[in-house]
């Protein structure tokens, strides 16, 4: 056997006369370094905020809850709740009745007895502050990378009623057929602004279902034995992976469940920079650059995000 044919079959070598084409669909060392630096930043933030337990829970169960005392200073969640109720009143002309909830008992939407205020993000600077919450963003960025975008921002007010929200995976909203990628393409970060429990009409999760990488079947979606209502105190932030099956039980208690749904996705699922038009340049400039990135007022950083999103789960590009 000649030396040259030996080289042709050896690992990491090319046959004589062959060359590698450095086209734009292949990696470069710069891209590799950028992806590693992005990973370091994402894990650095998790270390700084001491969020390892939350990340462990997220990986194991598909969702995590950031406790009120870690989420924000005392009083912030109450002000946020009042701002959502005020926005709801402005939108509908009906003052939400917090003690009985009867103003919302007859509403019927895709989420049951729930009034949606959408988009919410531009209606009060508190909603923008809530979006920039550092602990929520640390988890969202762990799931979706630094280039992720806010897809929707919705105030949710749920009254007493009878309607369940069937189990579903938010990944379905992007039109992705199963099997889903095991790492998240979309995720949700919800501010629970009143207590969540079974009788309060809480969100329900099927722990570990994100690992199945598929939608629930029609039968599973309405199988009440799978509904596990979450217990979370007012002021918590609930973050879940886009593959995680979740739904909600009806509210049995009088009164209202109030929350903000912030739904995020990787930049390549972006339906368009729908929030940028809601803000003036001056308003955007008041916030750190991450705000402009999230609302789509600034292009995704980096030269070649097509490439970056493929190489790294935590890439600054993907």
Ligand X SMILES: O=C(O)CCC(=O)C(=O)O
Q: Please, what is the minimum distance in Å from the beta carbon of residue 115 to ligand X?
A: 12
Which of 128, 188 has the CB closer to ligand X?
188
In 3D space, the residue among 162, 75, 63 whose CA is nearest the CA of residue 113 turns out to be 162
Structure tokens at 119: 């988009």
Q: Please, what is the minimum distance in Å from the beta carbon of residue 248 to ligand X?
A: 4
Instruction: DSSP for 145-177, please give it.
Output: -TT-EEEEEEEEEE-B-S--EEEE-GGGGGTPP
Q: Please, what is the minimum distance in Å from the beta carbon of residue 308 to ligand X?
A: 28
Which of 111, 215 has the CB closer to ligand X?
111
Which of 234, 312 has the CB closer to ligand X?
234
> Are 96 and 82 in contact, with CB atoms under 8 Å apart?
no
Q: Residue 261 interacts with ligand X (CB under 6 A)?
A: yes
Q: What whole-number distance in Å separates Cα of residue 71 and Cα of residue 96?
A: 25
In 3D space, the residue among 193, 197, 215, 194 whose CA is nearest the CA of residue 206 turns out to be 215
Q: Please, what is the minimum distance in Å from the beta carbon of residue 41 to ligand X?
A: 28
Long-range CB contacts (< 8 A, 24+ apart) of 220-225? 220/167, 220/245, 221/166, 221/167, 221/168, 221/247, 222/164, 222/166, 222/167, 223/167, 224/164
Q: Please, what is the minimum distance in Å from the beta carbon of residue 32 to ligand X?
A: 35
Q: Which residue is nearest to ligand X (CB)?
A: 203
Q: How many chain residues touch ligand X (CB under 6 A)? A: 8
Residue 201: left (phi > 0), alpha (psi -120 to 50), or beta?
left
> Are 290 and 134 in contact, with CB atoms under 8 Å apart?
no
Q: Residue 104 interacts with ligand X (CB under 6 A)?
A: no
Q: Residue 135 interacts with ligand X (CB under 6 A)?
A: no
Among 38, 80, 143, 165, binds ligand X (CB under 6 A): 165
Q: Please, what is the minimum distance in Å from the beta carbon of residue 196 to ligand X?
A: 8
DSSP E strands in 15-129: the ranges are: 63-66, 114-117
Among 135, 210, 241, 246, binds ligand X (CB under 6 A): 246
Q: Please, what is the minimum distance in Å from the beta carbon of residue 291 to ligand X?
A: 22
Among 51, 54, 248, 312, binds ligand X (CB under 6 A): 248
In 3D space, the residue among 260, 294, 270, 120 whose CA is nearest the CA of residue 188 turns out to be 260
User: Per-residue x/- mask for ligand X, residues 187 to 226, rule CB under 6 A?
Assistant: -x--------------x-----------------------
Q: Please, what is the minimum distance in Å from the beta carbon of residue 240 to ligand X?
A: 9
Which of 64, 203 has the CB closer to ligand X?
203
Which of 184, 261 has the CB closer to ligand X?
261
Which of 122, 168 has the CB closer to ligand X?
168
Which of 35, 107 has the CB closer to ligand X?
107
Longest CA–CA separation in the chain, Å: 88
Q: 3-class SS at 49?
A: coil
Q: What whole-number distance in Å separates Cα of residue 154 and Cα of residue 150?
A: 11
Residues in touch with ligand X (CB under 6 A): 111, 165, 170, 188, 203, 246, 248, 261
């Amino acid at each position: 056997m000649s030396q040259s044919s030996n080289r042709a079959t050896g690992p990491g070598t090319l046959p004589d006369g062959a060359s590698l084409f450095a086209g734009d669909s292949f990696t470069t060392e710069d891209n590799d370094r950028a992806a590693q630096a992005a990973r370091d930043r994402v894990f650095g933030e998790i270390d700084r905020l001491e969020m390892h337990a939350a990340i462990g829970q997220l990986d194991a169960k598909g969702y995590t809850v950031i406790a009120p005392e870690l989420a924000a200073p005392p009083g912030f969640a109450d002000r946020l709740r009042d701002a959502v109720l005020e926005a709801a009143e402005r939108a509908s002309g009906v003052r939400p009745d917090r003690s009985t909830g009867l103003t919302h008992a007859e509403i019927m939407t895709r989420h049951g007895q729930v009034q949606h205020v959408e988009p919410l993000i531009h209606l009060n600077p508190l909603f923008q502050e809530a979006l920039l919450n550092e602990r929520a963003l640390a988890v969202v960025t762990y799931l979706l990378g630094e280039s992720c975008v806010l897809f929707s921002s919705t105030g949710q007010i749920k009254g007493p009623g009878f309607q369940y929200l069937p189990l579903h995976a938010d990944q379905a909203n992007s039109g992705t057929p199963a099997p889903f990628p095991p790492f998240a393409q979309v995720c949700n970060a919800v501010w629970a602004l009143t207590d969540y429990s079974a009788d309060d009409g809480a969100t329900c999760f099927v722990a570990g279902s994100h690992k199945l990488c598929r939608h629930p079947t029609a039968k599973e979606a309405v199988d009440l034995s799978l509904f596990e209502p979450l217990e979370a105190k007012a002021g918590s932030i609930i973050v879940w992976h886009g593959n995680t099956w979740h739904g909600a039980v009806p509210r049995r208690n009088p009164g209202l469940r109030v929350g903000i749904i912030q739904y995020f996705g990787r930049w390549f699922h972006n339906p368009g920079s729908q929030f940028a038009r809601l803000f003036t340049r001056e308003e955007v400039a008041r916030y750190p650059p991450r705000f402009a990135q999230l609302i789509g007022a600034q292009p995704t950083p980096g030269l070649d995000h097509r490439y970056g999103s493929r190489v790294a789960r935590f890439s600054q590009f993907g």
